[in-house]
Each structure stands twice: as C-alpha cells, then as structure tokens.
C-alpha cells in the first residue's frame, strides 16, 4: 500500500466529519479554455449536510447561491472550521502552487459567505431569499482558469427551515 498516486495529498483530521485520508485529483475533459479536475476524497465525492444557515440573496446570476455562515452559532462554527480546513488544504495543492487560489469562503462583516452553485434552476429566487435553509452540498471539482483555480461546490438538495 506504499504506492501513493502522484496527485494525492493528506488532509489532517477534523471533528466535523470522519477524518479525510486523501484527496485525489483526476483530470477531466477540458471545457472551453478551462481545465477541470475531479475532487475525490477517500475514493468518492464529499457530500455534507449544512447546519441551519442563512441565504441573504436567493439564487443569483449564473445559478449561484451564497450561504451565510455565522461563526457565533456553535453548529455553524464547527462547519466553518471544516470549510476552512478544506480551503487551506486545496490552496496548498502542489500541482497548482503557481496559480492564485480563489477561496470558497469570503469574510463579510462578522460572518462568512460560502459560494455554491446549482445545476438546474429548480430553486426559485423568492423561495430562498432571506430564508434559513438546511442543504446537502457536494465538493465537485477544481476549475482552473488562466492563472487561478477554485473548488466548485454544488447544492444537491435544499430544505427551508
């Protein structure tokens, strides 16, 4: 078992989920001028359930939903720590060392925004805007554009709370 794949890296344990042992990158067919890599954790795509979070703006342009995370809420704080560890780990992938990383989290005032995407527009703007939700999200792939790369996160399901 000493044969590690070239693009596999270790991720330290965290408390939000069971420890992730490896991240594996598999190059996918490029779309237009972008390169994409599947983001595989412990042999499969990582899917997590969010705690109760706030959606300030509903579905935005390009099917984006920003999820607001309040670090003063204990469940959200644990989720935030998990996301920061994913962010730090992806940022340090050796293969992309010369590229600028676009983080999954953005600090806004005393809260954080997690940028997620939806594949189909089955969620209407008015259903999510200014609402609390619980959702399942999955970490899909790394998208490489010009001199940047980012981790794409998609909403698998959403439930108003």
Q: Binning pLDDT at 50, 70 and 90, where does residue 15 land?
A: very low
Which pLDDT score is estimated for 111?
96
Residue 53 above 80 pLDDT?
A: yes
**What's residue 92's pLDDT?**
84
CATH number of 9-160: 2.40.50
Q: Residue 9's pLDDT is what?
A: 42
Share of the chain above pLDDT 90, in %: 27
Label residue 7 by pLDDT band (50, 70, 90): very low
Task: Indicate the pTM of the whole model.
Answer: 0.77
The distance of Cα 160 from the centroid of its chain, to the nearest Å, equals: 20
Decide if pLDDT at 121 tops 60: no
As a 3-state breakdown, the chain gives helix, strand, coil percent values, each rounded to 5, of 15, 45, 35
Query: Is 3's pLDDT higher than 80?
Result: no
Alpha carbons within 13 angstroms on the beta-carbon side of residue 150 total: 16
């Amino acid at each position: 078992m000493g044969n590690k794949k070239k693009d596999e890296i270790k991720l330290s344990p965290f408390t939000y989920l069971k420890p992730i042992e490896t991240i594996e990158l598999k190059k996918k067919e490029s779309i237009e001028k972008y390169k994409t890599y599947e983001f595989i954790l412990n042999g499969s795509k990582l899917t997590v359930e969010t705690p109760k979070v706030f959606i300030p703006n509903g579905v935005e342009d390009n099917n984006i939903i920003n999820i607001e995370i309040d670090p003063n809420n204990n469940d959200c704080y644990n989720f935030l720590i998990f996301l920061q560890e994913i962010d730090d780990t992806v940022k340090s992938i050796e293969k992309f060392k010369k590229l600028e990383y676009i983080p999954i989290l953005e600090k806004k005032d005393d809260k954080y925004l997690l940028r997620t995407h939806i594949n189909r527009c089955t969620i209407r703007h008015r259903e999510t805007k200014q609402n609390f939700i619980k959702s399942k999200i999955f970490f899909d792939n790394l998208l490489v554009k010009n001199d940047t790369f980012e981790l794409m996160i998609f909403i698998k399901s959403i439930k108003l709370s």
